[in-house]
Structure 1
Amino acid sequence: MRILTALVFALLFQRQTSAQSSQKPKLKVTPLNDKVLVHTTYGVYQNTSVPSNGLIIKTKDGVVLVDSGWDSDGNTDNTRQLLQWVADSLRQPVRLCIVTHAHEDRVGGIAELRKAGVRVISTPLTAQKSVKLGYEAPEAIVPNDTTFTIGQEPIRCYFPGEGHTSDNIVVWLPKQQILHGGCFVKSVAAFGMGNLADANLKEWANSIQRVKSRFGTAKIVVPGHEEWSDPKSLDHTLRLLEKHAASKR
């Protein structure tokens, strides 16, 4: 009887611990300056809660988002929280969302954005891949290198070449000297390469070099996950790629 009781308690403890490990923190918003903020939502990757970063850009004509919240399996709570935060805290409409590649931490909230009347745009390849993954397609109107202006804020979308995925783009804010590298750029806090399921490891370093040559003057580089820094994260990504390649020899 004692053995049975102990087994029951052990199973209950295991379930409780598992549930706690999969619990995700709520939305976090961190200002970078008076115009640009980082929105951080959380998803579960390999049974661990992982932060995912996007941008909130304030313009004179409303808010532009870079990437949705990290949503999956039809649950769009993170993106719903993000839109509510913008409405409550900034009191501006969200005019546009740019998604930087077709993974759930970037496109998972498209349905919620569309429901709220937000226009969502991407490259044609990201739109195609989004549909294959079961998400709504963003408007496929973004060329490989283009700058557009919303509310006097220029925003440049640039495809540097394949890396984390075949469709990853970066977003550059020239007035702010801020680069959103997305999952293409690894945080200086990262010890590994993360999700490589769709990566092109042969081209990633070359693509990073293209970003360095164009946006190496960035004051802040925001990676897709974990903490942000100055352009050191670009060199850190190159070192991680070298380390990963050496481990496979």
Structure 2
Amino acid sequence: MWLERLSVAGNELNNVAGIKLSEGLIKSNTLKELDLSENMINEDGCVAIVYSLLYNSSLVVLNLRSNQIYRSEVIKEVATTLQSVNSLEVLNMDDNSIDEYGAKALGTALMHNKSLKELYICSSSKRGIGGSSAIAASLSQNTTLEVLHMVCDAEGATTFAKALPNNNTLKKLSLWLFDFVGELLSEESAINIIKSLYNNDTLVELGLPDELIKKDNVRKEFEEINNSKCGNCFISIKSLVSPSISTNTDDYFDY
């Protein structure tokens, strides 16, 4: 029986281990899931692991949550590589640092990638990601992504409201709506996103900050949109208490 799943989460693996694992991935044709979360792999190890996927056609789930990935140049390299990767379906990079330039690069990657179904890029910080609008805009062209989980700034929220009517693949969207200093966005941002779903028939679950969901106007808009939908287009809303990082993506969405 060949190894199909490997979890080495929380083992203090460093860059050397990350690079060695990348060499193994190049040679592997059976491993489907690799969990490297909560380790000490930094930029060089991360780039090596993702780059190895250009030569690996079996891996479908890669979890790099809570490592030491801080520089935007690295996220840009990861994003550039993702444009050509055609087997990876789930990428979890929660609790790493993704800034404006990294987010813009990921947005470009999503316009070209043809395999990714789930992307988790939420930070534990209550700060909106500059460049989140690039990721939102990519939804108008992306044809595979089904689950997206991220922190979003005001510009990104506006772009999501414009892009969602043009997307027919996304099923579950989780958005923590904060500005650059960590302040919650206005209820208008949430309402505009909800209104955009009048012209979207694929989204089945929308996650928004709990503080916004409790607003009367937000709940009213959500109820109205569901009343207008047919039975099989019903949208459930999920209350997001805080952008804390889960040890398991199942705590956010099932997949």
Instruction: Please report the TM-score for the alignment, with normalisation by the length of structure 1.
Output: 0.31
- Higher share of residues assigned helix: 2
Q: Which of these two proteins has the greater Rg computed from alpha carbons? A: 1
Higher strand share: 1
After TM superposition, the score normalised by the length of structure 2 is 0.30
